[in-house]
């Protein structure tokens, strides 16, 4: 049975009843309305445990003090603020009687009180608070399927950028529990309208994805920073138009031979990397980290490049056949037996080129002091070509393969895309993810060899092997 303590005063040998008689009063509404010069507490003799906390500001608050059977401590439960119309002494006594009944039934009010305090603390966190915690959680290293320790979310830097650039400036100081669906929708509209720089539907979409991940994570059991995510049922964004830039045969010819010019400002390995993307259809991140240990049978008829899953977008190993044109590029890029990375950085020996090296080479670098002016002209400008990106080289190679009549499913494999159809027959997703681990090397090699042969025709070069045979 829970006991009740209702006084602050103690006697060395006094009983609870004596302390009650000496320290308690019969609380009245008039007493609660009196002005005091210093803070005092008055305990009620009728409802033991009830006391009124009176402060000089003229505010009287009712509390219920009781003994926690689990810890032996005496916490106080807030009941309410005295109001002559809505919450008087008799109302406070009624609440105390109800609480005593719950205690008599064995209910642990103290535990409920602790949980309420913890929840109140959690619900008092700002958006900036949970952004900081979320970023720390994302970048924490965990063991991955290949056995390496890497960040829990390997794209955490990109996600953190979207949270810091868009969510934090607008909603960072706001309590996370107070963020509404309208707040997210308004922020999204402002990004599209250009209030955060260049108008961008893509940035709005990325912001929504980052914010949704943040609030869903914050609402998970154990955190409970919010009750639910505000990123649901938002108005649909306008569709993003996919890029369609494909280099024509004339542009391929100008680009390929232009990369061999000695008067261009960009280093040779960066230019070779651009050629390599066009020939192999690999993504920039996948090919720039190419290491000598990832290359196989360069002197044979089944040359291959194995891209480890940590560099692959879908986190799966890519085995990419290498046509003779790709092997020639690799041999030129590897200038010594000590060179580990194929496309080694000219600035940091022993390290691969930076992931943005090819994109910077194509568009040029901007002058920070004079906005809108280039510091170093890009290859597109120098060669007189309409601007394009490294990713457009993948699209160009895929288009060449399509024009040569190769099956879309084969081309998708070369691009490391999941093919959902073949000959208009739907293929269950689980088939490719769980059961079919075939790399389709024969089909991929046929496609890439065909692209290499077509590129040789366009640029007017001859296979080195054919040249030696002749």
Range 84-102 average pLDDT: 92
Amino acid 27: pLDDT: 94
In the numeric block, the tokens 């020939």 are attached to 279
Q: Which of 133, 385, 421, 356 is nearest to 248 (CA)?
A: 385
Q: What percent of the chain has pLDDT over 90?
A: 65
Mean pLDDT of the chain: 86
CATH no. for 16-122: 3.30.160.390
Ranges for all domains in the chain classified under CATH 3.30.160.390: 16-122
Residue 78: pLDDT over 80? yes
Q: Which of 401, 451, 382, 385 is nearest to 251 (CA)?
A: 385
Range 212-222 average pLDDT: 92
The pLDDT tens digits of the residues spanning 117-134 come to 655 665 678 899 899 999
Residue 79: pLDDT over 60? yes
Integer Cα distance of 187 and 182 in angstroms = 8
3-class DSSP assignment, residue 24: strand
Residue 356 tokens, joined: 């943005």
470 falls in which pLDDT band (50, 70, 90)? very low
The pLDDT tens digits of the residues spanning 389-423 come to 999 999 999 999 999 999 999 999 999 987 554 44
Residue 302 tokens, joined: 């089944």
Q: Which of 340, 314, 308 is nearest to 147 (CA)?
A: 308
Please determine, looking at this structure, whether the domain spanning 249-469 carries the CATH number 1.10.260.40: no
Amino acid 73: pLDDT: 83
Residue 440: pLDDT over 60? yes
Amino acid 110: pLDDT: 74
Integer Cα distance of 366 and 433 in angstroms = 43
The pLDDT tens digits of the residues spanning 337-389 come to 999 999 999 999 999 999 899 999 999 987 655 555 657 899 999 999 999 99
**What is the Cα 33 distance to its own chain's centre?**
55
3-class DSSP assignment, residue 362: helix
Integer Cα distance of 389 and 362 in angstroms = 7
3 falls in which pLDDT band (50, 70, 90)? very low
Relative orientation angle of helices 109-123 and 89-104, to the nearest 10 degrees: 110
Residue 197: pLDDT over 80? yes
- Is residue 92 within 8 A of residue 31, CB to CB? The reply is no
Residue 87: pLDDT over 90? yes
Q: What is the residue-wise DSSP string for 147-207?
A: S-EEESSTTHHHHHHHIIIIIHHHHTTSBGGG--HHHHHHHHHHHHHTTTSS--HHHHHHH
Residue 438: pLDDT over 60? no
Range 327-335 average pLDDT: 96
Amino acid 435: pLDDT: 44
17 falls in which pLDDT band (50, 70, 90)? very low
Range 5-30 average pLDDT: 54
- Is residue 435 within 8 A of residue 307, CB to CB? The reply is no
The pLDDT tens digits of the residues spanning 230-270 come to 999 999 999 887 788 999 999 999 999 999 999 988 999 99
- Is residue 148 within 8 A of residue 308, CB to CB? The reply is no
Decide: residue 259, CB within 10 A, 0-12 exposed, 13-18 middle, 19+ buried: buried
Amino acid 230: pLDDT: 95
Amino acid 2: pLDDT: 41
- Is residue 377 within 8 A of residue 304, CB to CB? The reply is no
115 falls in which pLDDT band (50, 70, 90)? low
Integer Cα distance of 468 and 464 in angstroms = 6
Range 34-42 average pLDDT: 92
Ranges for all domains in the chain classified under CATH 1.10.443.10: 249-469
Q: Which of 122, 102, 306 is nearest to 225 (CA)?
A: 122
DSSP 435: I
In the numeric block, the tokens 């609660």 are attached to 32
457 falls in which pLDDT band (50, 70, 90)? very high
- Is residue 464 within 8 A of residue 328, CB to CB? The reply is yes
Amino acid 116: pLDDT: 63
């Amino acid at each position: 049975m829970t006991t009740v303590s209702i006084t602050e005063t103690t006697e060395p040998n006094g009983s609870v009843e004596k302390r009650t008689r000496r320290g308690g009063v019969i609380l009245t509404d008039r007493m609660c309305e009196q002005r005091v010069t210093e803070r005092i507490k008055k305990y009620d003799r009728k409802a033991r445990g009830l006391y009124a906390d009176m402060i000089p500001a003229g505010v009287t608050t009712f509390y219920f003090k009781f003994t926690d059977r689990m810890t032996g401590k005496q916490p106080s439960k807030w009941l309410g603020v005295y109001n002559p119309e809505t919450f008087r002494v008799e109302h406070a006594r009624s609440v105390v009687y109800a609480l005593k009944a719950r205690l008599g039934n064995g209910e642990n009010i103290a535990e409920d009180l602790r949980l309420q305090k913890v929840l109140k603390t959690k619900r008092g966190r700002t958006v900036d608070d949970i952004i900081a915690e979320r970023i720390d959680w994302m970048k924490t290293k965990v063991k991955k399927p290949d056995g390496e320790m890497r960040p829990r979310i390997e794209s955490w830097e990109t996600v953190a950028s979207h949270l810091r650039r868009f969510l934090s400036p607008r909603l960072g100081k706001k309590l996370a529990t107070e963020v509404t669906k309208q707040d997210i929708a308004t922020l999204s509209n402002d990004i599209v309208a250009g209030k955060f720089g260049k108008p961008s539907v893509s940035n709005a979409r990325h912001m929504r994805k980052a914010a949704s991940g943040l609030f869903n994570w914050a609402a998970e059991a154990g955190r409970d920073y919010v009750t639910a995510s505000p990123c649901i049922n938002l108005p649909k964004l306008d569709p993003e138009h996919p890029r369609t830039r494909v280099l024509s045969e004339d542009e391929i010819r100008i680009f390929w031979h232009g990369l061999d010019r000695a008067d261009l400002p960009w280093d040779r390995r960066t230019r070779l990397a651009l050629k390599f993307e066009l020939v192999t259809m690999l993504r920039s991140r996948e090919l720039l980290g190419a290491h000598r240990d990832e290359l196989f049978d360069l002197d044979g008829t089944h040359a291959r490049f194995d891209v480890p899953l940590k560099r692959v977008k879908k986190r799966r190993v890519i085995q990419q056949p290498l046509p003779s044109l790709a092997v020639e590029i690799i041999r030129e890029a590897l200038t010594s037996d000590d060179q580990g990375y194929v496309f080694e950085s000219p600035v940091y020996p022993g390290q691969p080129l930076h992931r943005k090296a090819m994109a910077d080479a194509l568009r040029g670098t901007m002058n920070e002091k004079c906005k809108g002016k280039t510091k170093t002209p890009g290859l597109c400008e120098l060669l007189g070509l309409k601007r394009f990106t490294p990713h457009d080289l993948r699209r160009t190679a895929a288009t060449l393969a399509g024009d040569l009549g190769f099956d879309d499913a084969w081309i998708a494999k070369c691009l490391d895309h999941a093919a959902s159809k073949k000959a208009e027959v739907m293929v269950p997703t689980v088939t490719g993810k769980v059961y079919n681990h075939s790399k389709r090397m024969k089909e991929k090699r046929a496609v890439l060899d065909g692209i290499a042969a077509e590129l040789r025709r366009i640029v007017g070069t001859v296979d080195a092997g054919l040249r030696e045979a002749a």
